[in-house]
Structure 1
Amino acid sequence: MSALETRFIEPLDVLFLRGNKLFGDPGSYGEALIPPWPSAAAGALRARRLADAGVDLAAFARGEIDHPELGTPKRPGPFTVTDFHLARRGADGAVEPLYAPPADLVISRDDGGQLQVRAPTPTSLTMDERQKLSARILSSAPLPWLPVLAERQRGKPESGYWLTAAGWREYLAGLAPAVGHWVHASELWAIDPRVGLGLDAEARCAADGKLFTVQAVAMRHGVGFLARVEGASLPKTGTLRLGGDGRAAALTPAEVAWPEPDYAAIAAARRCRLVLTTPGLFSTLLPPGESALSGAEGPGVRGGWLPTGISRHGDGGYRFDLHGVKGRLVCAAVPRAEVVSGWDLAQWQPKPAQRAAPTGSVYWLDELEATPEALCKLVERGLWTETGADSSRRAEGFNRASLAHWMSP
């Protein structure tokens, strides 16, 4: 693995972090996507690298220039985003990453209004128990275990919280992060709605009756994004064009104490949780005619919510085998799918829209067969196969994951 470089990206202006929803029609409302997909950081850093090298951007877009680090638009080089997170700079100047809450943690308030963090317990059910449960609760989960959160009464989960680096270390160690390790989004950014005018291209003026609204994101002082990249020498300082309209962001080096799992302890325990740290675009080997999406008929290749490396066996079980790590997938907590797209500057057209497992999705692996070195290799390479993968999306930082201890009930 080549050397890793980390940069802190701090906005100097409001950002337009657009998702995949169209806007611009009269009365439409463009929502911001926070944080943006890692492809936003990949595009900004690559554009800056090309500009510093004096590369003709039009010629590069046409594939006429093969950059030693970035390759070409159709055949990317070794440049790869390995981490992309929200981040904040402390009073001492140190930068810490902030993590999206994993799907196996539930944040709520107790009877006294105090914040509390609880974790569902993976629970094995017999066939008879499953049949009784399915009569009361609708579920599309095909796995033998279900994540169960025992409650005395119904409660509404809290949203908008982000996990600090210290809290993420606790989570990787198999603990429920303490309440003090959570930060609310209101401390990190504010939404600043902006009104836009549709333009008449022929008259070269504002078109009548075409007002729309788009969300601008105003980051708090010291809050930005943290990107870690391998396979390229990044500029140490300067500015980037980030997000819609290319708003300015400052680029600075950052020495970060990245939280790491205890690979030796996980290998010894022979079970773990696999947690997505960026959206997952997966392909999974399934029997012909079967799709992982709710049992619907399909080509038997697209896995949807199932990670790359999963295969369906004749006994109905799901096995994981990737980069020397083997195990049995027994349980999963996956929020509703999101759709990832983007804009291809080289082709000047939208990128294909792909369904993705959201950041924070959790998969429980049992009967784990792996050395500490293989577990580390899995995290370093991401959930991609050695061949046949989407090299563009790999370079942009999708399918990245971490490993965590199986949380004790």
Structure 2
Amino acid sequence: MSQTVFLDPLDVLFLRGNKLFGDPGSFGESLVPPWPSAAAGALRSRLLADAGIDLAAFARGEVSHPQLGTPQRPGTFTVTAFQLARRFADGRVEALHAPPADLVIVDGQEKAGKPTVTVRNLAPTRLAQGLASSAPLPLVPVLAESQRQKPASGYWLTEAGWRKYLAGHIPEADELVRSSDLWALDLRVGVGLDEATRSAAEGRLFSVQAVALRQRHHPDPRGAAFDTGFLATVAGATLPQTGPVRLGGDGRAAAITGADWQAPEPYYDDIVRARRCRLVLTTPGIFGSPLPPGEGPGVRAGWLPIGADASQRREDGAIRFDLHGVAGWIVSAAVPRFEVVSGWDLSQWQPKPAQRAAPTGSVWWLELDEGMTAEALRKLVERGLWQERDYDANPRRAEGFNRVAIARGT
């Protein structure tokens, strides 16, 4: 059983990414949406405060929470979805999705003063005989077009567009939302503090991006018809339905509101009959080992999802996949350039290990084995791309990483 809440910011947010800042003259970029660990930390802190548990004792592992466990051994609490979202005046909440990597959005020629937007998709294609490639899989995702155009960024899929994508269709232009309609960036200047006196240190000015999510009450000339916030779905815990949480840097506040929202049901029966599907990351995927201190990102980490075994290959080069009862062959992939995920561990008061992550929206095409069932596909989505042993030992599981959706194959 899971619960979903809408996190409504009460102020600008400092959603810090993976880059250090704070030195004189440095610049801190914000990450929208933040990693799901931001929502996990906010909600877990609220649960501990509501239970009256001493936070310092919990951090040292001296006290456990029935749903959170301990920092070293997570309990049943698991973030199963974390997305940008908007809430309309009638209370309806809509999740917004980052476009998957197999969709290409293009701004075309202007018509009636507005650029025309088109959406195309990549199709897994077997290269012609004699054409060599470094691609590690038998099919290469190809965009067939008669004229080269530069892809556009800064768009989000509406829920209608996401449902169409899961059904194996291409979303329409009116099923996209621009980032500029959802938030604005506000440059702020910060002052470094002297550690001894806790007062402003001379010559230590830095700048940082604040994120102002669009709200209906804002004096916006475009007249926003919705409040922009975040949707968080949690399994294995009872969430508060009202009250504040601290979200992001500098302890900025957001309000919790219970949300009547359900993720769209994928077309499991159709996928089983066709024996083809696409695995799509809905949060960043951490598939490799933590990076050794001093080493550059990506030295030992991989791009293949958990469940893939590169040592098992078909004659055509397809890679074996087997996880939570879903078995088949990875025949193609669209995985953008990696990002590095870390964060701050409050219990240990030190940075979390930096780990290479496949970005949200990464796609893998699978050919499924015979005898696959809808129940197995459903279990894979519920459990995420984690081995069973990770449920007892890996804190990143509870934080909401490695979540996946299953779409019809193309």
TM-score (norm 1): 0.90
1:266 aligns with 2:271: yes
Is residue 120–residue 147 contact of structure 1 (8 Å, CA) maintained in 2? Answer: yes
Cα deviation, residue 371, structure 1: 0.3
Q: Distance in 1 between matches of 2:196 and 2:357?
A: 39
Give identity over the alignment, percent. Answer: 66
Q: What amino acid sits opposite 2:86 in the alignment?
A: R
Q: Which of these residues, 78, 87, 90, is aligned with residue 92 of structure 1?
A: 90
Q: What amino acid sits opposite 1:397 in the alignment?
A: G
SS in 1 for 2:397: helix
Q: Distance in 1 between matches of 2:390 and 2:197?
A: 48
Match of 2:294 in 1: none
Is residue 390–residue 397 contact of structure 2 (8 Å, CA) maintained in 1? Answer: no
Q: Which of these residues, 227, 230, 243, is aligned with residue 225 of structure 1?
A: 230
Q: Distance in 2 between matches of 1:277 and 1:159?
A: 18
Q: What amino acid sits opposite 2:192 in the alignment?
A: G
Match of 1:322 in 2: 323
Q: What amino acid sits opposite 2:159 in the alignment?
A: A
Match of 2:15 in 1: 17
Cα deviation, residue 257, structure 1: 3.7
Cα deviation, residue 406, structure 1: 1.4
Deviations 1:258-280 (A, max 9, x none): 21211111111100110000000
Cα deviation, residue 150, structure 1: 1.5
1:401 aligns with 2:395: no
Match of 2:349 in 1: 348
Match of 1:288 in 2: none
Deviations 1:178-228 (A, max 9, x none): 111100011111001100112223354322222110000001111100000
Match of 1:289 in 2: none
Q: Distance in 2 between matches of 1:380 and 1:388?
A: 14
SS in 2 for 1:373: helix
Match of 2:69 in 1: 71
Match of 1:8 in 2: 6
Match of 1:46 in 2: 44
SS in 2 for 1:128: coil
Cα deviation, residue 283, structure 1: 4.6
Cα deviation, residue 248, structure 1: 0.6
Deviations 1:40-68 (A, max 9, x none): 00000000000001001111111011111
Matches within 5 A, 1:209-358: 209-221=203-215, 222-283=227-288, 302=301, 304-312=302-310, 313=312, 315=315, 316-358=317-359
Q: Distance in 2 between matches of 1:43 and 1:372?
A: 33
SS in 1 for 2:148: coil
Match of 1:290 in 2: none
Q: Distance in 1 between matches of 2:94 and 2:102?
A: 23
Deviations 1:313-357 (A, max 9, x none): 254430110111111101000110000001100111110000000
Q: Distance in 1 between matches of 2:186 and 2:147?
A: 37
Cα deviation, residue 126, structure 1: 5.0
Q: Distance in 2 between matches of 1:337 and 1:77?
A: 29
Q: Distance in 2 between matches of 1:94 and 1:55?
A: 34
Q: Distance in 2 between matches of 1:119 and 1:204?
A: 54
Match of 2:28 in 1: 30
Deviations 1:54-113 (A, max 9, x none): 001111111011111000010010000000000000122111110011000000023443
Q: Distance in 2 between matches of 1:382 and 1:14?
A: 32
Match of 2:196 in 1: 202
Match of 1:114 in 2: 116
Which stretch has the larger CA shift, 383-392 or 168-177? 383-392
SS in 2 for 1:114: strand
Cα deviation, residue 154, structure 1: 1.9
SS in 2 for 1:332: strand
Q: Distance in 1 between matches of 2:383 and 2:128?
A: 36
SS in 1 for 2:285: coil
Is residue 4–residue 230 contact of structure 1 (8 Å, CA) maintained in 2? Answer: yes
Q: What amino acid sits opposite 2:76 in the alignment?
A: P
Q: What amino acid sits opposite 2:374 in the alignment?
A: P
Q: What amino acid sits opposite 2:263 in the alignment?
A: W
**Number of matched pairs:** 383
Q: Distance in 1 between matches of 2:334 and 2:210?
A: 31
Match of 1:152 in 2: 146
Q: What amino acid sits opposite 1:125 in the alignment?
A: L
1:141 aligns with 2:135: yes
Cα deviation, residue 141, structure 1: 2.8
Q: Which of these residues, 59, 69, 76, is aligned with residue 61 of structure 1?
A: 59
Q: What amino acid sits opposite 2:123 in the alignment?
A: T
Is residue 121–residue 149 contact of structure 1 (8 Å, CA) maintained in 2? Answer: yes
SS in 1 for 2:206: strand
Q: Distance in 1 between matches of 2:352 and 2:328?
A: 34
Q: Distance in 2 between matches of 1:365 and 1:106?
A: 21
Q: What amino acid sits opposite 1:6 in the alignment?
A: T
TM-score (norm 2): 0.90
Q: What amino acid sits opposite 2:309 in the alignment?
A: S
Q: What amino acid sits opposite 1:339 in the alignment?
A: V
1:383 aligns with 2:385: yes
1:179 aligns with 2:181: no
Q: Distance in 1 between matches of 2:70 and 2:44?
A: 11
Q: What amino acid sits opposite 2:282 in the alignment?
A: T
SS in 1 for 2:6: strand
SS in 2 for 1:244: coil
Cα deviation, residue 25, structure 1: 1.0
